[in-house]
Amino acid sequence: MKKKKERKRIVPRLFKLLFLLMVVGVCGYLGFRFLGVLAINNDMQAVLEGSLDANKAYDNTVTLLVVEERDYEKGTNEIAYGFLAVENRQDGGAAIFYIPPWVYLRGGRFSSLNYFGLNSTFGRGYVDLVREVEKGFAIRVDDMIFIDVEDLLSNKNGIPFYSDGQGEISANLEDLIEKQRKGSIEESEVRSLLAWTTQKNSKFADLFLSTDLDGYYAGIITNMSFKDSYSFLSRGGGLASNGTIINIGERNGSVAGLYTREELSDTGEFVYQLDTQEIDNKIRSLKGIFFDQDVVREQARVEVYNAGDSAGMASFYRRLLQNLGFNVIRHGNCPVNYDKTTVFVSDEQKFASSLNIVKGLFIIDIEVVDERPDFMNTGDIVVIIH
């Protein structure tokens, strides 16, 4: 009788023990996968060497979202398309550039998304592409998210993100991706492309459960934390619905809006190249989104000079500053030699916000001097780039 009672006690205990072991195993497995996601972010941060974190000194937040096709054997990727999302945390507005794969960001054979070779893991290629985007649009990028198009189109996680079924929506998305590879798409199609891209990947399981056992996250490569990545992708549907869409590949009849047709000098091939002047005009027409209100309020007069060996730096930083609302009154080559990037400010307290943003635009240590430079100038803030 006593043995039967003991057996009755042992059986529930065994079930409880098995259940506990199962829970521990599942939690450990998910935890291991989660650590894999974090490890990716740490590796990416190491590659970036703080180059993106340095851009977060001002309130506008900029995220580069790129969908790519990864060729693991060759170690290179082809870009399917990209979005540059600018969200103004002061006023709540948002603008999204759609970047088709066939538009060249700058002069040069390898400046389009379509032909930009990337290292398939954590090489400098990702950072180099971010820098190309920054130079083309004259906007500092805070964060980047790279999504594998195969993971985007597949349903391996078994999670439908629309009620009409997984297969149909993936087929529609694939058709749209192929369409935009060959030519322009309408604004409504751009909004659909952004919504599908972000909503599919914002599902918790897509971000959390797709990590392979070796710690490599199959779907997304990013410098962002898991929380921030999930937050951005979750906002994607709202950005697609309510944000201002800037369709780089849009055509008005036979006239291109934001790109020009150029001939490559080495091959004679005609390519489509980003019209940076029109891009700047578009950005400045949306000053409520792109401009920093503290900069507009302080109205510092800014001069930018290049004292280094890299040509075009004064023009690039002039564009960067003007696209944030700065009043750049003069730019060019520096008449005096400087061996370090230096920012002179006439009144550090009066122009505190503007100075903070100027410093945040540089990914290197700079020297700030609370006085005017030696040469003739009339700027409240004078930027010397070396």
| Residue 201 domain flag | yes
Neighbours of 22 (CB within 10 A): 10
Give the whole-number percent of the chain exceeding pLDDT 90.
Answer: 26
Q: Which helix (H) or strand (E) holds 66?
A: strand 60-71
Using the 3D structure, point to which of 237, 271, 305 is the last residue of a domain.
271
Task: Determine the pLDDT at residue 26.
Answer: 57
Task: Determine the pLDDT at residue 269.
Answer: 77
pLDDT band per the 50, 70, 90 thresholds, residue 11 = low
Shared domain check, 319 and 251:
no
Shared domain check, 333 and 265:
no
158 pLDDT exceeds 50? Answer: no
| Residue 4 domain flag | no
| Residue 12 domain flag | no
Question: Which one has a higher pLDDT value, 168 or 132?
Answer: 132
The number of domains in the chain is 2
Shared domain check, 209 and 327:
no
Shared domain check, 193 and 325:
no
| Residue 25 domain flag | no
Shared domain check, 311 and 194:
no
214 pLDDT exceeds 50? Answer: no
pLDDT band per the 50, 70, 90 thresholds, residue 24 = low
| Residue 371 domain flag | yes
pLDDT in tens, 161-183: 333 445 566 778 888 888 888 88
Question: Which one has a higher pLDDT value, 85 or 218?
Answer: 85
Helix boundaries (H) for 266-336: 276-285, 287-290, 293-298, 313-322
Residues, the chain, total? 386
d(CA 52, CA 98): 21
pLDDT band per the 50, 70, 90 thresholds, residue 203 = low
| Residue 34 domain flag | no
Determine the structural domain holding residue 89 and report its residue range: 46-271
Contact 139, 360 (CB under 8 A): no
Q: Which residue in 240, 213, 207, 229 sits closest to 96, CA to CA?
A: 240
- pTM for this model (two decimals): 0.79
Average pLDDT over residues 311-324: 93
Shared domain check, 266 and 142:
yes
Average pLDDT over residues 145-168: 58
Shared domain check, 104 and 199:
yes
Q: What is the CATH number of the domain that holds 356?
A: 3.30.70.2390
Q: What is the CATH number of the domain that holds 110?
A: 3.40.630
Shared domain check, 187 and 102:
yes
